[in-house]
Structure 1
Amino acid sequence: MSGDFYSERPLFGGAISSTFPLRFQDVSDIRQVPDHQEVFVDPARDESLIFELLDLKHDVGDNGSATWFLQDLATEQDAEGCTAISKGRQGREAQNLLTVYLANLRLKAVGTDVLIVAHEPILINPLSESATAVGAGLAVPAAQSGCMAMGEVFKLAVSSFKVNDWSLFGA
């Protein structure tokens, strides 16, 4: 393991928890986040980790659900060829190239689809908001700067995800 410290973090008021590095800061401390989301970001790397609770999509098959949600996310973000995503409300000319990790946990008993999504920049566009924070050009892989690689952060967050209080879902 690298020099990245991590711990179990409370989500949705502690009703859910997941383990990931402490370098990821709670975005709700900075700006408004919808009630059905928990968003964490490493501002030094422009990496993000998002936990989202959605109504169960009954018309989407289990074995294709993650792909369906990934395509839905790309469409929502107006991604070009499902590889580049513009930040916030910026246009296509400011798109960054990034790796997106997505897991869909289907909690059918409580009618909920849980999405865990991680974004790892590969190339930061000079016109992107991100360029002012982390610099334009090729992003330095986390492992090169002594941090846990984003793929590992994602696996840890997904594998450690647990529901502590089912009443969150009205159960």
Structure 2
Amino acid sequence: MAGGADRRPLFGGAFSAVLPTNIQDISDLREIPDNQEVFAHAATDQSIIVELLEYQEGMSDPEAARYHFEDVAASNDAQSAAEVVSVEPLPLAQLSLTSCSSAWALTGHQRVSKFNEEAQNTVMMHMALLRIQQHATDLLVTFNDPVAIHPASSSTGAETSGNTSAWTLDDFHRLLLSFQLHDPGVFG
């Protein structure tokens, strides 16, 4: 695979995708909910989160993307410091996930604190909402890319996206385009 990335099983092998290099599976360090896969970059403060969420019925696809962004902002206590920059469709023909009924990319940023610190870091958030309507599931993939680390943050000293080994948007797009479903039983 390009850039040394590997296809990896997700959700117990129900899905697979090409993940970027320098990846650390956070479930090796702490308990992660069954509906999430969480990965961190080994040298930067970047992370990728893959979530199987309830399909948001009764709203347009762009509204559903914004809903999930705002939900993440609320869980990050960043509602007042979160902004959507763009919401755009992703071409289904480019996706390997054939059960996807629609796909949307959202770019935004949030000012978030780690570990309940007062210091806030500015994080660019690249989200992809892959809607799997037939299984009542929204597959949300979030790439958190810190662009400004507050000097008082515990993240100070973590290399930022200027690092040559840092993940790029190309890495994120490769991940999105490579998603495959192997076991529909994951949906229950």
Whether TM exceeds 0.5 here: the answer is: yes
Distance, in Å, in 2 between the alignment partners of 1:86 and 1:149 is 21
How far the C-alpha of 1:75 sits from its partner, in A, is: 2.4
TM-score, reference length from structure 1: 0.85
Q: Is the 8 A contact 1:52 1:115 kept in 2?
A: yes
- For structure 2, the 5+ residue unaligned runs are 83-109
Moved over 3 A (4+): none
CA displacement at 1:140 relative to structure 2 = 4.3
Question: Which of 98, 101, 106 is the matching residue for 2:126?
Answer: 101
Contact 1:60–1:68 (Cα < 8 Å) also in 2? no
Q: What's 1:86 paired with?
A: 113
Asked if structure 2 preserves the Cα contact closer than 8 Å seen for 1:19 and 1:157, the reply is yes
Shift of residue 159, structure 1, vs aligned partner = 0.9
The letter for the 2-side match of 1:61 is S
User: For 1:114-135, what per-residue CA distance to the aligned partner results, in whole angstroms no more than 9, with x for missing partners?
Assistant: 1000001111112222225x16
Distance 1:81 1:97 in 2: 9
1:8-47 matches, cutoff 5 A: 8-47=7-46
Q: Hey, what does 1:69 align to over in structure 2?
A: 68
Q: More helix by proportion, 1 or 2? A: 1
* Closer, same or farther: CA 148–81 of 1 in aligned 2, 3 Å: closer
Using the alignment, how far apart are the partners of 1:25 and 1:17 within structure 2? Answer: 16
CA distance in 1, matches of 2:161, 2:140: 26
Letter of the 1:90 counterpart: N
Matched-pair identity in %: 36
Q: Quick check: 1:115 aligned with 2:136?
A: no
State TM-score, norm by structure 2: 0.77
